[in-house]
Every structure is written in C-alpha cells, then in structure tokens.
Amino acid sequence: MSAPRVLPDAERDAAFEREALACLPDVARFARSLTRDQTQAEDLVQETFLRAYAGYHTFQSGSSIRRWLFSICHHAFLRLAQREQRLVLTEKGEDAELEVLAAVHDHAAAHRAGVDHFIRNIDIGPAIRAAIDSLLPVYRCTVLLVDVDGMTYEEAAEVLGVPTGTVRSRLFRARRLLQQQLLAHARDAGVAGAPSSPSAQTQP
Amino acid sequence: MTTSPDGTVVNEIGCRATVLRLWDYLDHALADSQRLEVDQHLRDCSACAEHFGFARAFLDALPASWPRPIDTEPLRRRVVERLREVGFSLP
C-alpha cells in the first residue's frame, strides 16, 4: 500500500472531487440503508464528506476510496446512533453454523408448505426492502454491503471495522431473518399450493 | 473418494457438511477443494440441490430489490456548499 498523498490544495481538491464526490450516490444509498430516513441520511452523507475532506491526506492512494468513504460513513453513523442510545451493537445467537442450518430448515418447511417457489415467481422487491429495513443496523448494513453492494466478507469487515468472522456470522443471521420474513410474507399473501417435489423435504 | 467430471479426485461429503457450506459456497468463499466437494454432492443429492437453488434465487433477488437513489445532484450541491465553508475549492 502506498503512502498518504501530499498534494497542493488545488490539486487535492480536484482529486477529491474526481474520486470522492463521484462516489456520493453510493454513499447516499449506504447512508439511507443505515438510517432508513432520507433527512438523516442526507445529514450523514454531508458529515461523511466533511470528515473525508478533513482526512483526505490520510487516504492511501491505490486503495478503494469507496470503501474508505463507506467506513467513514459507518463510523459517523455509529457515533450518532450511540449518542442517541438507539443502537444495539451485538445480539445473542451469532453462530454461523447454527444460522445456516436454521435457514435450510426454514426452507425445507416452506417447501413442504409449497410457498418457497414464490421467490422466483412474483415481484418480491417491496417485501425484501421492508424486510431489510426491519433488521437491526448491524445486520442491515452487513446485508447491504455484501448482498446488495457485492463486497467480499473481507471488504465488508474493513468498512465495518470488525473481524471477517463477525461479518460472516452477522450475514448468515441476517439472511435467515430475511428468509423467515419473506416466507411469512408469502404465506400471508396466500402463496401456497404449488406442487412440491419430495426432494427438499429431507432435513439436513 | 470420488472423481469430478474433470478428473479431479474429490472427497465425498454428506448432506450436513454440504449445507453448512451453503452461504460460503454461494459467496465464492470456499477453497477450491471444498467447492469441488460441494459440487460433487449437489450432483448426487437433489434435496441439497433444492436448498442451494432456493438460496441462490434468494441472493439474486436481494440486489434487484434495492433501488438506487433517484437524483443525488441536489445533495451533491449541498455537500459541495458545506465543503466550501471549510476551504474546498473547485477549479
């Protein structure tokens, strides 16, 4: 990794506009996923770019500025949320193996009830968004980084400032919670009755 | 031991070991040897293949559900205005 850059002011500002401000739509989306509120998200974006500008000389050229900005955004959100004492940082049950087994168990039950096919057949976008919004922030931002934004476990860990194993366990738990909500949504919507082959009825 | 279609010798694993690798497999986070073991099991086990198919469809639906911000230009102007107050200048 190369050393922090020391640039003349005009050059630094031009680079900041070209590199950092170009990521504003992505940061805005991430901020919206953290806050779930448009006004708070815009304040968070503003705070993120102010902090990024103040610390731009510490940015390591060659690394991902997008992840650097996401990390600043996440830390700013944590500070804000902790100040307002509305953040639950951890939750019991973060065991990756148990979560994946539970997810498969839930799918097997949904398959037996004939509701699992809905995920391929109807527009579940609104239901997914509602389910993601209902997650605790620690799970929501992990899902957004990995499943929506396409980051690896390691990249998400860098943004969130946690070990890779923590990202993995939070992600697996979040996915199980989302699947549970979506399958419940399918049952509530009356999606049932599809012929289910016996294959997935076998419990792992 | 069994042999994959490309001739590689692969350890046989059971259903439990396979589903425990479900998310790591779909996230491309497995070592090659572990991935081949899952591939081999999925070829032979329709129950596990069904679980993996559902999980893949679920993961595919997530990014498609999330809309991009419609217009961030007003926010960008606000941010630039605020940055100017602390010394930022555009050519």
Name residue, tokens 């396979």: B18
| Alpha carbons A201 and B39: distance in angstroms, whole number | 20
Distance from CA of A29 to the nearest CA of B (A): 6
Q: Is residue B83 within 8 angstroms of chain A, CB to CB?
A: yes
**pTM of the shown model:** 0.79
C-alpha span between A105 and B45 (Å, rounded):
16
**B50 — contact with chain A (CB < 8 Å)?**
yes
Q: Chain B residues with CB inside 8 Å of A9's CB?
A: 87, 89
Cα Rg of chain A, angstroms: 20
Give chain A positions within 8 Å (CB) of B44: none
Element (H, E) at B9: strand B9-10
Q: What's the mean pLDDT when you consider all of chain A?
A: 82
Reduced to 3 states (helix: H, G, I; strand: E, B; else coil), residue B82 is helix
Specify whether the CB–CB gap between A170 and A138 falls below 8 A: yes
Please compute the mean of the pLDDT values over residues A73-95 and round it to a whole number.
69
Burial class of A199 by CB neighbour count within 10 A (0 to 12, 13 to 18, 19+): middle
Q: Does B59 contact A202 at a Cβ distance shorter than 8 Å? A: no
- Per-residue pLDDT of A144-154, as tens digits, reads 999 998 999 99
Of B19, B46, B66, nearest to A129 by CB-CB distance is B66
Task: Give the ipTM.
Answer: 0.82
User: Letter for the amino acid at A36?
Assistant: R
Interval A110-164: pLDDT, tens: 777 776 777 776 677 888 888 998 998 889 999 999 999 899 999 999 999 999 9
A133, A125 in Cβ contact below 8 A? Answer: no
Contact A171 B23 (CB under 8 A): yes
Predicted confidence band at B65 (pLDDT cuts at 50, 70, 90)? confident
A187/A118 Cα distance (integer angstroms): 10
